[in-house]
Structure 1
Amino acid sequence: MESPAGFDLSKQQHNAAKALDETLRAQMAQACSGLSPIALAMAHADWAMHLMASPGRQSLLAQRALELSLQTWRNVLAQPEQGEKDSRFADEDWNAWPYVALKEGFKACDAWWRDAAQQGGGVSRHHQHMVNFFTGQALDAMSPSNWPWTNPEVQRTAQETQGRSLQEGMRFFMKDLQETLSAHPDTPSEALPPLDYAVGKDVAVTPGKVVFRNHLIELIQYTPTTREVLPEPVLIVPSCIMKYYILDLSPHNSMVKYLVDQGHTVLIVSWRNPDASDRDLKMQDYLCGVLAAIAAAKASTGAPRLHTMGYCLGGTFLAIVAAALGRLSRKPGRARTAKEKALIPDDLPELASVILLAAQTDFTEPGELGVFIDEEQLATLRQTMGERGYLSGKQMGGSFVYLASRGLLWGRNTRRYLMGEEDANFDLMSWNADTTRLPARMHSEYLTALFLNNALAAGQYRFAGATVALMDIRAPMMVVATTRDHVSPWKSVYKIHLQTDTHVTFVLAEGGHNAGIVSEPGRPRRSYQMGSVEDNMGWIDPDDWKAEAPVTQGSWWEAMHAWLAERSGRPGKPPAFKREQVLCDAPGEYVMVRYAD
């Protein structure tokens, strides 16, 4: 029998070996920008081995290479076409020799590799998605528009400015590099470079009061601007992945101000920006944060009915909470369980409506984000978060840059570092730089339960001791998606029709995940489609819905206000602030917390 001392030594060896493995994996992931190199290698090995075993596919690709080569020379020698579709090559100098050859050669290479990445049967769906995505990333990085010696626009600008554009670009590069190297997680908020648009001065300026605060949320109630208001307040639950003032930017494009000016009493949740001490906050805690906000909204306004609105992940939280409350309301005579009593407050207001903005409830088609979600990559992410206690805002922001790297990374670098142009300076870009963290445990649970296992849509997600079924939502719903959303693809959002048994008005707005939602009246080139699903209509394919739904020019905000007004009572006197509940002025304290990482 092994001695205790021998057992202790074996355990120490095991722990040392595990620590060594984790250290090596962490270093490998750091070298791959936080991605798991094992997951990347497995995906490309799957693709390469299937291609090696497909001589027919290889012959087609060889034929395709010959066709593209001939087409390239025809394009180089022929008269250049007008209206280049690729914005990277829109400048007229790309049609002059030798740049036209570089451009056409790159476009042919790009087309061939994208065809080659589209392997036939056999490659797993997730691996195929990863190969397609990272092939596109590599090709975008190799574009001749990214390099000074192959970009005629960069060279012309340098000549016209006598080299000042390159000097200014180098100054920007050194400034950004210094900020990156000097960034430290413990740097206090006041020591960070100020935002271009100051919170509370330039953005998030709609007047209001913080009427509730706990460890996780502040609840802001806004001051009415009309003599009468609709009796049902509007409670907004933004995503904890972002600062809430995406919906309260400058006065001209603030959704909060718009709703207040239309006669709504508006309240919004401001999530706490977590630190390492919050590592053990769970998904359940965030759902309870939504419930606490609903209870506080009733306590502050006295309203027995409440309109609710959730944006992005906040919409997913709101859908889960609405389903849990709907389940309870279907069984009014049943005594609550211990978990229900512990997690769900008593005397909550009735939900008059549920509005979801760019929020997924089915994650089988999560769009480009899906390339980052598998067991291996989640294990790598858990290890990184476990060391810090949170997912840093910088790491999360980097993931979103990946999704649109052509414009957000390479296009920006070309303009800033090669042409010496300052970054665009407007409120949405300033907000985008005001990043937030996510607690390690909550983020891990969110990715595993919803993205990896799709537990919510599968009827396997549990809250307050019971399974959550979106079919239990009783309130009428408005669900808004956007046409160019890389975070919540509109066809994924559209699947809410398969999961609910209530009235659903679906809106498809022109734009992306942020700009499509922040789409105020008067903004040019904005439109939306809208249609309602009534009882016994059955399933309508999303492509069929899009083909048939009428297009309305303008802002979908106006349709939202009309939809809310139809489901509200008669206007009356605005609710007064209760002095004992007012904690401070908007925008509150939590939104001011910033971190270098």
Structure 2
Amino acid sequence: MSVSADKLETAVGDILEMTAKATEQGSKLWEKLINQPTTADDPAACVLNDFSEAFRELGEAMMAHPGKIVADQMEVLKKQQELYQHTVLRFLGKDVGPVVEPEKGDKRFASEQWSENPLFDYIKQLYLLQGNGLMKMVKDTDGISDHSRKKVEYLMRQYVNALAPSNFAGLNPDVINKTLETGGANLVAGIEQLTEDLEASAQGSLNVTMTDTSAFQVGRNVATTPGKVIHQNDMMQLIQYEPTTKTVFKRPLLVIPPFINKYYIMDLRADNSLIKWLVDQGHTVFVISWVNPGPSLRNKGFDNYMLEGPVEALDVIETITGEKEFNAIGYCLGGTLLSATLAYLKKKRREPIKSATFLATLIDFSQPGEIGVFINETAIAGIEKQMNMLGYYDGRQMAFSFNLLRENDLFWSFFINNYLKGQRPAAFDLLYWNSDSTNLPATMHSYYLRNMYLNNRLVEKNALELDGVKIDLSAVKIPTYFLSASQDHIALWQATYKGAQAIGGKPRFVLGGSGHIAGVINPPAANKYGYWTNDAGALPEQADDWFKAAESHSGSWWVDWQEWVQTQGGTEAVEPRVPGKGPVAAIEDAPGSYVKQRIVDVLGK
């Protein structure tokens, strides 16, 4: 749809009226934003101070090689002159090719107007030339440390992507057309949505609404696999699921989800629920549902999560089933906790878990991925000061930080849809889960950041102490299964590979397709993504060497895991265990009450 003069003339009155309303609301919103209290102790201020040091290092390195800067700038100017000439020719009706094109998969310029209209095409290409030039300047500068380069590249990328013309109402042809169609009502609706989102966001962040939250209810159309809560404490509820097979495997299965998100990523819908699939394969499945902590749990540490989480859960499962041997699955941070639990129990001369599975799990934190730009003493100290004041780390801040790792897909696309076009986002269960954040207790989060991310002590022998016990992962000799995802930007697969090498015994390493979520939640019926295995023997030292000799498979890793776990023992057929019918009474129906606690309910704001 093109922008015509007659359409502009008929709509201009309505637009002026609506724009005036949007401006009035925007002024009030801006006043609220600039009046938010900030101090030097705010995490954002600490992070910016740390980034400023990286930019200082970049500036010194650039000044040492001025010729390279001049050459890069001249190249950009040359391309800009070529773009200007091409644009003139296009206005004269000539057919000329682009000087620069968006990268494959860049959805910001998908509208035909960005290519067919010479003016918008010029704006798009000029932005790409200048943005690419800035990023190339950082990449090509010698004499800067890798850590500082990553910080500068991250912040420069945020800057470049924030200035994309698609993010501005007057430069985005789709927004202009929408404004003409609605007489500016989209701008007013957008300001209203922005105001609502800011009210619901943690201080210092903007949690853009990603989905129609009214379309979902935990226990009604997500997290619906039948089961019972059969135990609870301050930290978790333990769910046992209803069996669906005539017999079940003798050895029960405990699933430990991450406590930075809610467990129902593994139980969104019946057709992609890992939990339901495990039940349907004949496993007696128990899942930990973590509490959404507030200030009262500020002193709960990592060892509390271990003792009141998997350790206590194993005792309860033994009471219910009479079994003393178990399989366990840990996802993301739940897998990190599982590894520490295995080492702790080993030192206590206990080995109830006979096979352990780690899904997209970091154990060796030497390659933390892009989140590593925030891992340093300055940034962590800033977070700790805020947590000491509040008693918790606000999960909405964490969600905002993780969304900015994929800013165009997980922030700016919704910014445009919600605030510029004035549209409500569509209903999408995965994004509903992604928006359903959880807090972290101050003590635990500080321990996790310092001992795992900052100092990488989990893989050091006897470097970590939990509940008075120094742990050693290499002493754990049970069979392990590691599933990583090839496009995971949170737990890089090369880093999770190092974790498989850190635990003793014989690990099976499997690489799935896609990312941190889709690579794990990949049901066989979907027949998507595929996976790689390498059965040559011991894991090679380097992850890339493992991949070179790996064999590609279609379908889901779930099937491969089921075949593997059945070779680990405990597969004798026994009568199904019905939750609440044994020695432990049911407390309530699954999914329980803990998982329904949203941050606004916990904090009252």
Q: Within 5 A, what are the aligned runs for 1:488-507?
A: 488-507=491-510
User: What is the alpha-carbon distance in structure 1 between the residues aligned to residue 495 and residue 468 of structure 2?
Assistant: 28
Other-structure match for 2:311: 291
Counterpart position of 2:407: 405
Map 1:205-224 to 2 at 5 A.
Answer: 205-224=224-243
1:473 aligns with 2:480: no
Q: Structure 1, residues 111-133: CA drift from partner, whole Å, max 9, x if none?
A: 11111112544323322111010
Question: Do structure 1's residue 36 and structure 2's residue 47 form an aligned pair?
Answer: yes
Tell which deviates more after alignment, 240-249 or 47-56: 47-56
Shift in alpha-carbon separation, 1:501–1:430, aligned structure 2, 3 A: same
Q: Which residue of 2 aligns with 1:338?
A: none
Paired residue type of 1:590: Y
TM-score of the two chains, using structure 1 as the length reference: 0.85
Decide which of 73, 93, 96 is 1:62's aligned counterpart: 73
Q: CA deviation at 1:531?
A: 2.7
Is the contact made by 2:213 and 2:432 (CA closer than 8 Å) also made in structure 1? no
Q: What are the superposed Cα offsets for residues 72-92 of structure 1, whole Å, 9 maximum, x if unpaired?
A: 457756235999722211222
Query: Which residue number corresponds to residue 323 of structure 1?
Result: 343
Per-residue deviation at 1:548?
2.9
Q: Match of 1:36, SS?
A: helix
| Structure 2 unmatched runs, 5+ | 1-35, 90-95, 204-211
1:256-271 to 2 correspondence within 5 Å?
256-271=275-290
TM-score, normalised by the number of residues in structure 2: 0.84
Question: Which residue of 1 is the match for residue 208 of structure 2?
Answer: none
Q: Are the counterparts in 1 of residues 527 and 554 from structure 2 also a CA contact under 8 Å?
A: no
Question: 1: distance between equivalents of 2:85 and 2:353?
Answer: 64
Residues 212/128 of structure 1: CA separation in 2 closer, same or farther (3 Å cut):
same
| Cα offset, 1:349, TM superposition | 6.2
Aligned ranges for residues 543-582 of structure 1 at < 5 Å?
543-568=544-569, 569-576=571-578, 577-578=581-582, 580-582=584-586
Corresponding residue pairs, total: 543
Give the C-alpha shift of residue 26 in structure 1.
5.0
Say if 1:456 and 1:183 are closer, same or farther in 2 by CA, change over 3 A: closer
Most deviating of 554-563 and 351-360 = 554-563
- 1:517 is displaced (CA, Å) by 1.5
| Equivalent residue, structure 2, for 1:141 | 162
Is the partner of 2:481 in helix, strand or coil?
strand
Is 1:529 the equivalent of 2:513? no
The residue that corresponds to 2:325 in the other structure is: 305
**In 2, are the aligned partners of 1:527 and 1:553 still within 8 Å (CA)?**
yes
1:548-579 deviation digits (Å, cap 9, x = unpaired): 32222222222222222222322221234325
1:324–1:472 CA contact under 8 A, matched in 2: no
Q: CA deviation at 1:323?
A: 2.1
Partner of 1:463: 466
SS of 2:483 mapped into structure 1:
strand
Aligned to 1:519: 522
* Aligned mates of 1:175, 1:83 — CA distance in 2: 30
Q: Give me the identity figure in percent.
A: 31
The more displaced of 355-364 and 555-564 is: 555-564
* Alignment-derived partner of residue 439 in structure 1: 441
| 2:232 maps to amino acid | R
Question: Deviation of residue 196 (structure 1)?
Answer: 3.0
Deviation at 1:442, TM superposition (A): 0.7
Report the counterpart of residue 249 of structure 2 in structure 1: 230
The superposition leaves residues 418-441 of structure 1 with CA deviations (integer Å, 9 ceiling, x where unpaired) of 233321312111111211100011
**Cα distance, 1:521 vs structure 2:** 2.3
Partner letter of residue 126 of structure 2?
G
Aligned to 2:380: 378
Aligned: 1:170 with 2:172: no
Distance in 2 (CA, whole Å) between partners of 1:492 and 1:110 is 30
Q: 1:226, CA displacement in angstroms?
A: 0.3
What root-mean-square deviation, in Å, do the aligned CA atoms of Structure 1 and Structure 2 show? 2.6
Give the drift of 1:259. 0.5
Work out the CA distance in 2 between the residues paired with 1:184 and 1:449.
26
- Alpha-carbon deviations, 1:438-477, whole Å to 9, x = none? 0011101100111011111233222243432221222111
Match of 2:258, as an amino acid? Answer: S
Number of the residue aligned with 2:215: 196
- 1:129–1:94 CA distance, 2 compared to 1 (3 A): same
Match in the other structure for 2:365: 363
- Per the alignment, do residues 512 and 575 of structure 1 end up closer, same or farther by CA in structure 2, a change over 3 Å counting? same
Work out whether 1:127 is the aligned partner of 2:148.
Answer: yes
